[in-house]
Structure 1
Amino acid sequence: MKTCFIMGAMPTECTFVPRPGDLVIGADGGLATLESLGIAPDVILGDFDSLGRIPTGDGVILHPVEKDDTDTMLACKLGLERGYRHFEIYGGIGGRLDHTIANIQTLLYLKERGASALLVGDGETLQVIRNQSVLLPAREAGLLSVFALGGDAHGVTIRGLYYEAEGVDLTPSFPLGVSNHFCGREAFVEVKEGNLLIIAETTVG
């Protein structure tokens, strides 16, 4: 599956290896991170207030500072326009809380348009599932939390984790799904109706 990789402005130690046919977008200050990782972007876009300079060359798309979209959202919209339906977003967790929340909303935006996406941070990965199930690889330890997103989540089933559930309903106003634990088994998470935000710890200190 072709992947649209997006690097946001938050510094990160996470990296990736693009393959032929993939699209790499540096969103504003994400260009500096890509340069430090030795990854050449196909597109650089944003208002470049975080980068502090306006890059030159092919593939640069300049946007005004005053706009309705975040730079990450602009990158996602471009990926959708170019036909990509799988996204991996880096450099989008940490720093300003409002930007992290905006990036979580961006995951839902992509899911509502038929795309899958991962928001990858240093030590955790976020994804949104909608009326579907997902399998997560077995881990001996680490946290996994699930939250209703954008409304109630009905028929939530969790198997293979320390705390299991079968067909429960989650609401955005009560964090019942926080701080579950991997315990050496493959994890199954399903929501029959609604959206579920899954936050999985990827490193355990």
Structure 2
Amino acid sequence: MTNENYMCRAPRTLLIGAGPSNAELIREISFYSDAIVAADGGFWAAEQAGAQVALVVGDMDSQQDLPAGQAAAHILDQETTDFQKCLAVCDADVFLGVGFLGGRLDHQMAAFSTLLNEPRPVVLIDEAQLVFVVPQEFSVDLEAETPVGFYPMVSIEASLRGVRWPLSNVAMSPIGQIATSNVALGGALEITVDGPGLLAIMPRRYLVAVLAALDRGFGKAHHQ
């Protein structure tokens, strides 16, 4: 999608899906966003949280009657998910996503595939954790004994430092080396990868630190 066709522009955009979430989580994460976009049925979760939705996007198979004046992008394409449709019509430096983890496993796996194909940083959030694709160089300070996990969605080469079980220029793949159930040693967690494809999982309380690290890792011009 070309820049002139974007329907929502904001430095940080919160996407709300129809998966498991709650009003408290939506209100908390909306504090870190500049705009809120709902993926189809996610509109009702946003409304229950009292969130001001800038745009509703999707094939609208979960919608009945939107409030008068609510901006919406009705996209009939059945080859993409509502999550993908939201990303296609929004311009942001970073996306936050609530309501895309948990629930139906096929929906969650589709969301992970979307992360893998999206060049801009996206952080998916639930009550307990953050999930995101790490850039080629990533560093964040974590407390000792913080649980962390790393899962390669494709074959990559990666180094992990600052964890109990480090790796150095190791080939990782879904059917080979993975690094789930790891633990931070305390201080800097440093990751380098030779390309996109490594999912990082860590506690939700590190959202602010992760956003700052992703900003450094992707840079300001990554979405242009």
TM class by shorter chain equals 0.7 to 0.9
User: Which residue of the partner structure matches residue 23 of structure 1?
Assistant: 35
Contact 1:161-1:183 within 8 A present in 2 as well:
yes
TM-score (norm 2): 0.76
CA drift at 1:142: 3.5
For residues 29-68 of structure 1, what are the structure 2 equivalents within 5 Å?
29-50=41-62, 52-56=63-67, 57-64=69-76, 67-68=78-79
Q: CA deviation at 1:182?
A: 2.3
Structure 2 distance, partners of 1:5, 1:133, is: 24
Q: Look up the match of 1:160.
A: 162
After TM superposition, list the pairs within 5 Å mapping 1:105-144 onto structure 2. 105-111=113-119, 115-130=120-135, 132-144=136-148
The answer to whether 1:11 aligns with 2:5 is no
Structure 1 gaps of 5+ residues are: none
Aligned residues of 1:136 and 1:188 also touching (Cα < 8 A): yes
Unpaired runs of 5+ residues, structure 2, are 1-9, 206-224
Q: 1: distance between equivalents of 2:66 and 2:144?
A: 44
Aligned-partner Cα distance in 2 for 1:158–1:38: 40
How far did residue 148 of structure 1 move?
Answer: 1.8
Q: CA deviation at 1:174?
A: 2.3
What amino acid is the match of 1:169? A
TM-score if structure 1 supplies the norm length? 0.83
The partner residue of 1:101 within 109, 128, 140 is 109
CA displacement, residues 19-40 of structure 1 (integer Å, 9 cap, x when unaligned): 78x3310111211111122110
Deviation, 1:183, is 3.4
Cα deviation, 1:94-152, whole Å, max 9, x if unaligned, reads: 111111011111111212xxx1111112211111124x111233134342111222x31
Q: How many residues align?
A: 191
Q: Percent identity?
A: 23
What's 1:90 paired with?
98
CA contact (8 A) 1:6 1:25 kept: yes
Once residues 49 and 161 of structure 1 are traced to their aligned partners in structure 2, the CA distance between those partners, rounded to angstroms, is: 44
From the superposition, tell whether residues 127 and 28 of structure 1 become closer, same or farther in structure 2 (CA, over 3 Å): same
Compare the two structures and name the one with the higher helix fraction.
Answer: 2
* Contact persistence 1:107–1:119 (CA under 8 A): no
Q: Which aligned segments of 4 or more residues in structure 1 are displaced greater than 4 angstroms? A: none
Question: What is the Cα deviation at residue 159 of structure 1?
Answer: 1.2
Q: 1:85 to 1:137 in 2, by over 3 A?
A: same
What is the CA distance between 1:18 and its match in structure 2? 5.2
Cα RMSD, aligned residues only:
2.2
Q: Alpha-carbon deviations, 1:143-169, whole Å to 9, x = none?
A: 2111222x3111x11111121121111
Contact 1:18 1:24 in 2 (8 A): no
Cα displacement (A) at 1:199: 1.5
> Contact between 1:161 and 1:185, CA under 8 Å: does it hold in 2?
no
Give, in whole Å, the separation in 1 of the partners of 2:204 and 2:172: 24
Q: Give the distance between the partners of 1:176 and 1:87, measured in 2 at CA.
A: 26
